[in-house]
Structure formats: C-alpha cells, structure tokens
A and B are shown apart, each in its own frame.
Chain A
Amino acid sequence: MALILNEEQLMLKESAKGFLSENASIKEVREQRDSGSTTGYADTLWPKMVDMGWSAILVPEEFGGLDFGNVGMAQIVEETGRTLTASPLFSNAIVSVSLIKKMGSDDQKSNFLPKLASGQLMMTLAIDEEPHHNPEKIGMMATEEGDSYLLNGKKRFVIDGSTADKFIVVARTDQKSKGKDGLSLFFVDSDAIGVEVERTQMVDGRNSAFVVFKDVVVHRKQMLGQKNKGFKPLSSVLDLANIHLSAELLGICEETFDRTLQYLKQRKQFGSLIGSFQALQHRAAHWWSEIEICKSIVLKALQSYDQDDARSPFLASIAKAKLCEIAELSTNEAIQMHGGIGMTDEYEIGFFIKRARPAQMLFGDHNYHVNKFAASCGY
C-alpha cells in the first residue's frame, strides 16, 4: 500500500480544514476559555460536527455510521490540532466508539453505536488513577455480588468527564490479579448513586474530571467485553487513541511551524528580516525536517492499524513517542523564535504549547512510549 492519502481522504482533509477555519478558529478557543463555560468546549460546535458526519466516521454502516476508517478520521483530528479545536470528538467518536466496536456485545453495539454516531450520547473512558498513565497498574476494584458488581476506586484525567453521560470504567474483577490480568470494563452512568464527579479545568482550557466511585452498583450486563480479559482489546484501542493523539500533535507541529515561518519573513531586527539569519534558518530547516519525519510515521501507524497489521502496537508507540518529542520542539521553538510577543496571552502562538502538553501526556507521554517500544523489542 502506498504511503500517501487517497483522494477521498484528501477531500475529507480539505473539507475539515474549511469547516474548522470557518467555525472553530483559535479566536473561538479564546472566547470559550474566557466565557466561564464549564463544558470545556463550545456547545454549539458539536452539533455542527455531527452534521458534518464526523461523529459517525468510525461507526459501522449497520449501526448508522460511515465506516470510513481511521486514516480518514485522523485527517480531521490533524486539522483540529492546527485550530486547537476542543470537542468531544476524541472521547466520544474515537475512543468510546472504538472500544464498543471492538469489545461490545450485539446488544451493546445496537444500543450505543447509533446514539454515539448521532452525537446524542456522551461517553468517555475512565482509566488513569495516577498522574502517569499505566494501564497495568489499575487499583480500582469491582467485587461481584449476585448479578451485580460493586465498584470502588478513583479515576483522574478523565477527558470530558464532567459532561459525559456514561463512563467506560476499567477495574479489577479478580481481586488477586496483578498487571495485565484480571481487568474488566464497565459502563457506568455518571449520575449513578455513589459516583462523584469533580471538574478540573486543565492548562489547555479543556475539562477533565476527577471521579470517585464509592460502592457503585453495576449490573453484570453493563460489563463491556469478557470478564478478566479486558486488557488486550483495551490496549489495542489505547494504541489507536495514541495514533490519533499523534495526528493531533502533528497538526500542532505543522501550525506552529507555519506561523513561525511567516513571522521569520515579517519581523525585522538589525535592519534585516530575522529569517535571513542563518542561526534561525538552520533551526527552522531542522524543525521542518523533523515534521516531515513525523508525517510519515503517523500515516504509517494509521494505515497499519486499519489493515490490522500485527506491527500496529509497535508503530503506535513509535508515533506517539516521536510526536511528543517534536511537539515539544515545535511549541518551544515557536515561542522562542517569536521572542517577547510569543510570551503574551494576546498573541495566539502560546495557545499551542498549552494544548500540546495534555495531548502528549494523555495515554502515555514520550517516556512511557519509548519504554513500551523498547519492551516490545525485547530489551
């Protein structure tokens, strides 16, 4: 398979670019932040995204979706990285849809997927318990009691957790298990008795939640996937989520670069455009080269995931590790090359670093994925 986008994917990318520049520029991000809103995203934007069909892209046709694939979806995600658009697209239409598609029973699929495709139901994954992502270190317990389970534990960094109708919660169903074994997933209503949701506004202005589960009763029919066997399929969806986060980070890298390049061609010091100084030219050229490298690995990881290639977990970690590194380079170089104006809140370039870091941290940062990659290579 050629490592390029096909025509349909290119068209989707173009239409996403057009839609976002009209409806979700960084001006809107600022307005949203300053409005005192508690959702973390513009409420009016999500229905428009649904109208564009974006919430249905990964949903199979039999459940009211478009089944367009992850390469296509990631073109939109990359563009949202350029515009820093906040929306439930990631938590709902990528993570939740993919988990249900992979692990759900027929009932769960026909119950939830159409509602997710039409944007009516808000759902999100609740997995992390510590400040660092580690799906093998789950402490949350689900104790069997008759037909139900009793959930106890705490989750943090739950993306869009304060606006979700339902959580997909990862818990231990085998009390004695450790690591990858004994994990199961459950659907839990956010308004269930014993669920406490605390909204935390993050550095990017978006919301994540700190959620406490205290003796929350969940019927066994609300289990997603097989008992004690949740890790493997969950891990595969986390890989996919990380590839999409890489695509978003790629958008951030490209946009910060483009804006900085423009600035190098406008700003004069010492009587010359600063872009004529070799000290900056070489840094810009190196930065551009790194972004070219990033484009390739993101597309490779996406294609391999859509083709069910056995190397996709491996490529997902390569992509996330690389994109975390270059997103850091990009957002830092962007500020430095803009000089003082890059430090002001009035200027937009500083918004990118504040979105990049949470996206880097979510589901494993650079160090996490370098380590995961090395482990998967057997050293």
Chain B
Amino acid sequence: MSNLQAFRDETRDWLESNCPDSMRKPMTSADDACWGGRNWVFKSDDQKVWLERMAEKGWTAPDWPAEYGGGGLSKEEAKILREELKNIKARSPLDSFGIWMIGPAILKFGSEELKRQHLPPIIRGEIRWCQGYSEPNAGSDLAGLQSKAEDMGDHFLANGQKVWTSYGDKADWMFCLLRTDPDAKKQLGISLVLFDMKTPGVSVKPIKLISGSSPFCETFLDNVRVEKDQVVGDVNQGWTVAKYLLTHERAMIGDMGLASAGSKTLGMIASEKLGLTNGLLSDLVLRNEIAKWEIDAMSFSCTAERVRDESKAGQGVGATSAMLKYYGTELNKRRFETLMRVGGSDDLVWEGPMSRDGQVAKTWLRTKGNSIEGGTSEVQLNIIAKNILGLG
C-alpha cells in the first residue's frame, strides 16, 4: 500500500510542476483538444509542452509496456494517475485513435517489428491514425466489405472505397480492413492492414455533416501498395482483430456519455438559464425531465465503475461493452435534446455570438451520430441479445 502512496505523492508533485496552468482549465470547445500527428499545429506552447512532457514519461499511454515507450504502470498506478490528473482538472495531453484503438490491437496481435515501428510514434503523438472500416455497402453489416487487397507476391495491392473515415483528411496512417481471400466465407477472408496515407493511390474527400462540420471522410484506394509486414495478426484473420478493436471503440464511445457531462450539471445550466421560482426550476416539466436524466446518468456512471471493478475481480458477465455503448450514447443524445430545450430559441441560432456560433446546436446534431458510429444502437442490442442473452 505504501508503494502506491509513494507513487501518488510523486505523481502529484510531478504534475504540479509539469502541467502548465492553461492545461488545467476546462476545454472551451472540441477545438482545444490535441490530436498530434505530422501536420498538427499546436494551439499554444503550453499544449506542446504538456504533450511532450507526458509523452516523455510514457503517460499518454500509461499502462503500455515501457519498452515501447509506454508508462509501464500497473492497473493501480494507472488509476492513481487518472485520479491525480482529474484532481487538477488536467486536459488530456493527447486524443488519439492510435492509443484508443490500433495501439491495443498491435499490442495484442502485432509482430514484434510492428510494435517497435508503430507504438513509440503513437505514444509521442507524432503519427495520427484513422480507421478504414465501413464501406458504402458495408455499414452495420461490416463483414460484407468488398475493398480488397490482392497478393502480388512481395506486397498487396489494395483497391476499393472506405467511408466514415474519422479525420481521414488529417491522419498520417490508416488501419484498414480489406478482403484478402475473395472465395472464403464472409468473415474469414479479411485482413487488418496498415499503410501510410501518403502512399500513391490514396485519396480522401471530407463529408459535410448536418452539424456543419466534416469529421468524417470518404477514402478511395486506387492500386495502393501495402507491405506484407504491415498485417496485424495473421492474413485472413483480420475479423478477430477487428472485433477486439471494436470492443475498444465501443468502450470509448460509451464513455463519452460521461465525459461530455462536463463540470456543470444539466440542472445547473437550466437553473442559470430559466431561473428558480420558490426554489424550483421555473419550468416544472423540464425540471422533471432533467432530474430523470441526471438519475440515469448517475446510475450509468456507477455501472461503468462496477463493470471495471468486476472485471478486475474476475466477476461479472463480461462482454458488457455493447451495453455501455448502447446506453451511454443514448444518454448523450438525450442530454443534448434536453440542453436544446433549455436553450430555447437562443440555441437555435446557427451563427453569431448569441449562441457562440450555434455551439450547442452543432454538438446536439453531432450526437445523433453517436448511436450510429461504432455499431448502431440496434447492432448493440443484437449483440446483447445473441451473445449475452443467448437469443438466436
């Protein structure tokens, strides 16, 4: 126990002297996040310094092995680090699909060479990754994907089209599902491959969303050369890797239900906007709606805690990421529907200072995608029904 206490003290001291003041203030918008990569322009010197210092210690990926540049922390230590970061309200030094998604897959399934090549730049925020999964005709039915990689002897030749590539226009490398055996059954002929987005034949086109932003792209693959050593796991076994990776993605999106709750509760925001009458929120119907949301959000956050603690203790049913993804994203959508009701006509203003250029409205519209990306709510319910409840 005393070792952990010592670690906590050291961590607290180190954060105190190394986390810049401006990195301890809540983000004002999603634009304040740091994604890293070759083309990244830091928003401030503090943002740069904060990333460099954390990366140096490997604390952008606290529980990855130190030999690849990770923090090498035990689960308990990583938890302490999270708590101490939360205590000083530190911003995340790096948001990264490398850390959240492909990194864990490379660690579990990748060759030693792949680990040495890719993990250190991910941890340092030097390479930004994107995910090539969905296709125009393979959304919920992901295993129906048709983009292919032909075996050319010393390399693969990739052709096809990917869609909903998050930040594809800003990413440096792609992890991509391609059909390597056209004759095998659906799930059996797929491989997970890695390639540089600068490779000739890769082109990217942003998709404008109802929120006005373009976080997703279409990615076209036209005779793209993929090296043979850039396959994660075995050739034609990519579906297994992809499923593992999707579990991570689900956990990540599910968590957003909590993360975006921010420092002000819905009740506080509504009280400021609408005022109180005799100590009660002036709109009683809205008061009821908000209280019910907060009750669900609190219960959900306890569930994330319980699932974590159960898996540590080897109890529980496992495979709960589908439930967390389903519930968390539906909660987040509800939160923004309610926020829009709280804002009234003010938050329906698309441009101008009254609504900070429609900030709530744009986020509200963006949340509609939460229950579509990473597997729709309906797909999550299918997974629960089949894998957990055993309904065929």
Interface residues of A (CB under 8 A from B): 2-4, 261, 264-265, 273, 275-276, 278, 280-282, 284-286, 288-289, 292-297, 299-300, 315, 318, 321-322, 370-371, 373-375, 377-379
CB-based closest 6 A-B pairs: A281-B385, A285-B384, A296-B302, A374-B291, A297-B299, A296-B303
**Contact B391–A265 (Cβ < 8 Å):** yes
**Does any Cβ of A come within 8 Å of B276's Cβ?**
yes
Known: A4-B309, A285-B381, A293-B303. 5 other contacts (CB 8 A): A275-B391, A285-B388, A293-B299, A322-B295, A379-B276
**Contact B279–A282 (Cβ < 8 Å):** no
**Does any Cβ of A come within 8 Å of B310's Cβ?**
yes
**Contact B389–A261 (Cβ < 8 Å):** yes
**Contact B279–A375 (Cβ < 8 Å):** yes
With known contacts A265-B391, A293-B300, A296-B303, A288–B384 Cβ distance under 8 A: yes
Give complex CA distance A298, B174 in Å. 43
Checking A278, A293, A379 against B270 with a beta-carbon cut-off of 8 angstroms, the contacting residue is A379
Name B388's closest neighbour in chain A (CB-CB). Answer: A288
**A331 to chain B: closest CB distance in Å?**
19
Give complex CA distance A292, B310 in Å. 12
**Contact A4–B310 (Cβ < 8 Å):** yes
**B264 to chain A: closest CB distance in Å?**
12
**A246 to chain B: closest CB distance in Å?**
11
Chain A residues with CB below 8 A from B298, complex form: 297, 315, 318
Bitwise interface map of B from 134 to 173 toward A, beta carbon under 8 Å scored 1, else 0:
0000000000000000000000000000000000000000
With known contacts A3-B309, A264-B391, A285-B381, A379–B302 Cβ distance under 8 A: no
**Contact A3–B291 (Cβ < 8 Å):** no
Name B316's closest neighbour in chain A (CB-CB). Answer: A4
Q: Which of B342-392 contact A (CB under 8 A)?
A: 378, 380-382, 384-386, 388-392
Tally B residues with Cβ within 8 Å of A.
Answer: 45
Give complex CA distance A370, B294 in Å. 10
Chain A residues with CB below 8 A from B270, complex form: 379
Name A286's closest neighbour in chain B (CB-CB). Answer: B381
Interface residues of B (CB under 8 A from A): 265, 267-268, 270-271, 276, 279-281, 287-288, 290-292, 294-296, 298-300, 302-303, 305-306, 309-310, 312-313, 315, 320, 323, 326-327, 378, 380-382, 384-386, 388-392
With known contacts A371-B291, A374-B290, A377-B267, A285–B385 Cβ distance under 8 A: yes
**Contact A2–B313 (Cβ < 8 Å):** yes
Give complex CA distance A299, B310 in Å. 13
With known contacts A4-B310, A288-B389, A370-B288, A321–B295 Cβ distance under 8 A: yes
Chain B residues with CB below 8 A from A318, complex form: 295, 298-299
**A366 to chain B: closest CB distance in Å?**
9
**Contact B288–A3 (Cβ < 8 Å):** no
Give complex CA distance A2, B299 in Å. 16
**Contact A374–B312 (Cβ < 8 Å):** no
**Contact A378–B303 (Cβ < 8 Å):** no
Give complex CA distance A292, B388 in Å. 12
**B107 to chain A: closest CB distance in Å?**
26
Chain B residues with CB below 8 A from A281, complex form: 381-382, 385-386, 389, 391
Chain A residues with CB below 8 A from B388, complex form: 285, 288
Name B301's closest neighbour in chain A (CB-CB). Answer: A296
**Contact B389–A289 (Cβ < 8 Å):** no
- What are 20 A-B residue pairs whose CB atoms fall within 8 Å in the complex? A2-B312, A265-B391, A281-B382, A282-B385, A289-B326, A292-B303, A292-B320, A295-B306, A296-B306, A297-B298, A297-B303, A315-B298, A318-B299, A322-B299, A370-B295, A371-B291, A373-B291, A373-B295, A374-B280, A377-B265
Checking B267, B295, B306, B378 against A4 with a beta-carbon cut-off of 8 angstroms, the contacting residue is B306
With known contacts A4-B306, A373-B295, A378–B313 Cβ distance under 8 A: no
